[in-house]
């Protein structure tokens, strides 16, 4: 695990966007395509906007890029609370991604459970896996850290935390807004990724980051602690404000 501390939110977004490009270019060189899972919330929005700007967007062959969502709110795609909606506005509308390369959660299905089941089937079909016995490996999973220590939509005390077989599940709203049902990747799927990157910024995240990285409470209290890629890398990209309570020896500011 590496913790990288950026000066501020803007530097964090720039580093995250550059990292996305580097990982994508390497994945395309090595495996012919790049498959990423994006996070919602407010922190990554600037990263997505930077990726869509010509100076970065032109560095990548978007024909070889596939984007999933690590979690989604069960609201229509044009609802401002939708993660898909945020990503679309921030970057998708400006990028030359071919049809079928943005694999959004179908929130028009009758229930969150049906949406989760459908998304899991979509994943298995995309990775050409006959069943869940072999875990799909994302090249990159972006995650956020909620004030209650949730990540993706893996909330404290939720049944989703103990899921070992399914790759995607529906989960009731947590205690933080917005109070809508969610669809989320589970720990086994996230932890199978080649690279997981948390994006955490702002002084309001300092206590939670300290809990997740130093106190390390049990997973049911602090789900972010459950993110431990089995055979991949874990990077915490944080800003100085979020990192303000971390002991200096734990930081790797130069990376």
Q: Is the omega angle on the peptide bond into residue 178 within 30 degrees of 0, that is, cis? A: yes
DSSP state of 212: I
Which one of 18, 25, 28, 41 is in contact with ligand 6PG (CB under 6 A)? 41
Q: Which residues contact 202 (CB under 8 A, 6 or more apart)?
A: 9, 43, 239, 241, 242
User: How many whole angstroms separate alpha carbon 181 and alpha carbon 174?
Assistant: 8
The dihedral built from the CA positions of residue 201, 228, 130 and 30, taken in this order, carries a sign that is positive
Q: Measured from the CB atom, is 60 or 206 closer to ligand 6PG?
A: 206
Nearest distance from C-beta of residue 25 to ligand 6PG, angstroms: 25
* 31, containing H or E segment: helix 9-31
Q: HSE-up of 197 (CA within 13 Å, CB side)? A: 27
Strand pairing partners for 107?
A: none
Which one of 152, 193, 227, 246 is in contact with ligand 6PG (CB under 6 A)? 152
Nearest distance from C-beta of residue 148 to ligand 6PG, angstroms: 8
Tokens standing for residue 115: 């949406």
Q: Measured from the CB atom, is 59 or 175 closer to ligand 6PG?
A: 175
Nearest distance from C-beta of residue 29 to ligand 6PG, angstroms: 29
User: How many whole angstroms separate alpha carbon 67 and alpha carbon 76?
Assistant: 18
Which one of 4, 71, 75, 212 is in contact with ligand 6PG (CB under 6 A)? 71
Which one of 42, 111, 121, 175 is in contact with ligand 6PG (CB under 6 A)? 42
Per CB under 6 A, the segment of 19-27, 53-61, 149-157, 241-249 that binds ligand 6PG is 149-157
- Total residues binding ligand 6PG (CB under 6 A): 15
Q: Could you say whether residue 241 binds ligand 6PG (CB under 6 A)?
A: no
User: How many whole angstroms separate alpha carbon 37 and alpha carbon 196?
Assistant: 9
CA distances to 89, 145, 190 from 228, rounded to whole Å, are 31, 14, 8
Which one of 4, 39, 82, 195 is in contact with ligand 6PG (CB under 6 A)? 39
Per CB under 6 A, the segment of 34-42, 118-126, 210-218, 221-229 that binds ligand 6PG is 34-42
Nearest distance from C-beta of residue 59 to ligand 6PG, angstroms: 25
- The answer to whether the beta carbons of residues 97 and 60 sit under 8 Å apart is no
Q: Measured from the CB atom, is 25 or 49 closer to ligand 6PG?
A: 49
Nearest residue to ligand 6PG, by Cβ distance, number only: 144
Q: Residues interacting with ligand 6PG, by CB under 6 A?
A: 39-43, 71, 73, 83, 144-146, 150-153
């Amino acid at each position: 695990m590496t913790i990288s501390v950026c000066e501020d939110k803007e530097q964090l977004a720039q580093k995250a966007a550059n990292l996305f490009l580097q990982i994508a270019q390497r994945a395309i060189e090595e495996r012919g395509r790049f498959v990423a899972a994006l996070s919602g919330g407010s922190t990554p929005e600037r990263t997505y906007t930077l990726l869509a700007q010509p100076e970065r967007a032109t560095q990548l062959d978007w024909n070889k890029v596939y984007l999933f969502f690590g979690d989604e709110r069960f609201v229509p795609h044009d609802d401002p609370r939708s993660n898909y909606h945020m990503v679309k506005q921030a970057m998708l509308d400006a990028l030359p991604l071919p049809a079928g390369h943005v694999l959004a959660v179908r929130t028009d299905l009758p229930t969150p459970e049906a949406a989760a089941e459908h998304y899991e089937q979509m994943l298995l079909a995309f990775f050409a896996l006959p069943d869940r016995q072999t875990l799909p490996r994302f090249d990159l999973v972006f995650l956020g850290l909620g004030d209650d220590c949730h990540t993706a939509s893996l909330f404290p005390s939720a049944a989703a935390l103990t899921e070992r077989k399914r790759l995607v599940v529906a989960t009731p709203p947590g205690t933080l807004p917005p109070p809508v049902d969610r669809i989320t990747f589970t720990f086994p799927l996230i932890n199978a990724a080649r690279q997981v990157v948390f994006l955490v910024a702002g002084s309001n995240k300092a206590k939670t980051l300290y809990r997740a990285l130093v106190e390390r409470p049990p997973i049911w209290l602090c789900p972010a602690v459950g993110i431990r890629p089995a055979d991949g890398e874990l990077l915490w990209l944080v800003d100085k404000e979020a990192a303000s309570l971390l002991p200096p020896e734990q930081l790797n500011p130069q990376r």
